[in-house]
Amino acid sequence: MNERIAVLKRRVLESRGGAWSFAGTAIRAMNKARLGILGTYHSFMSSRLNGMIFASNCYGYYCIPADAKDRPAARYVIAGRIWERETIECMLDHARLADVITAGAFFGDALPALSSVAPPDGIVWAFEPNPENFRCSSTTILLNDLKNVRLANAGLGAETGTSQLITCDFTGRVSLIQLDIEGFEEFAILGAAKTITRCKPRLILETVPETGSAAMALLSNLNYSIVRRLDSENFLLAC
């Protein structure tokens, strides 16, 4: 098993700056390694490569930026645990219904779980503007062979102002929008106004828009309200 993991690491190293051409071999190696990993001590603990830390929990395998190893989400996953379990479980309940939008993907800690419950034609649309986080979340997607995840190196906002800022209005059916974007939730909500109005998805927000703001006015007009608090930092809203 250690030899297989070493092969995987070498493929990751060789792919840096490229087109992630190692995916097929890496996934095959990971699928074989799973037989010896599941139900045992998480094997990637403390495995490091070129600024990346590899870890696993019950949902899958992860590539974590080494510089972020002391952040709470990273610490939990490195220890083989689930960060914000209540939030993840709530997301899974609604990800089974249609497409999901998740912004602030970080290293992709929620992506394997969301991918696993998506309907046959469902897509998990993920966004991460930070280049290093994007690199690691891209690797997380490849490690788990998540064919129904679409990841963009971009943030969400009210307008498409630069190549790294886009709106999140979609033509498909969306059952959940989850935003963990450092206080910019209001702008992302305004950028998704058409989708929210049409689909009325559940919203999981780290920061609820302030009373009197344009985003809160939109949500109030659609009869959105806070259903409950999730973990210590997130809020579930529904109409």
Identity at 22, one-letter amino acid code:
F
Domain boundaries, the chain: 2-238
What pLDDT does 26 receive?
44
What pLDDT does 16 receive?
40
Helix (H) or strand (E) holding 76: helix 72-78
The pTM (predicted TM-score) of the whole model is 0.79
What pLDDT does 163 receive?
39
d(CA 195, CA 179): 14
pLDDT average per 10 residues of sequence, the chain (239 residues): 52 42 41 39 49 91 94 95 96 94 95 96 93 95 95 75 49 89 86 90 94 94 96 93
Q: Give the closest residue to 205 by CA, choosing from 175, 221, 229, 222.
A: 229
What pLDDT does 28 receive?
41
What pLDDT does 166 receive?
45
d(CA 158, CA 168): 9
What pLDDT does 69 receive?
93
CATH of 2-238 given 3.40.640.10, 3.30.70.1560, 3.40.50.10860, 3.40.50.150: 3.40.50.150
CA distances to 3, 56, 102, 160 from 85, in Å? 32, 15, 16, 33
What pLDDT does 54 receive?
92
Give the dihedral sign, CA 6/9/15/21: positive
- Taking the CA atoms of residue 182, residue 187, residue 192 and residue 197 in that order, the dihedral angle to the nearest 10 degrees is 110
3-state secondary structure 93-160: HHHCCCEEEEECCCCCCCHHHHHHHCCCCCCEEEECCCHHHHHHHHHHHHHHCCCCEEEECCEECCCC
What pLDDT does 130 receive?
92
Residue 142 backbone dihedrals phi, psi, to 5 degrees: -70, -40
Count of C-beta atoms within a 10 Å radius of residue 21: 11
Count of C-beta atoms within a 10 Å radius of residue 102: 25
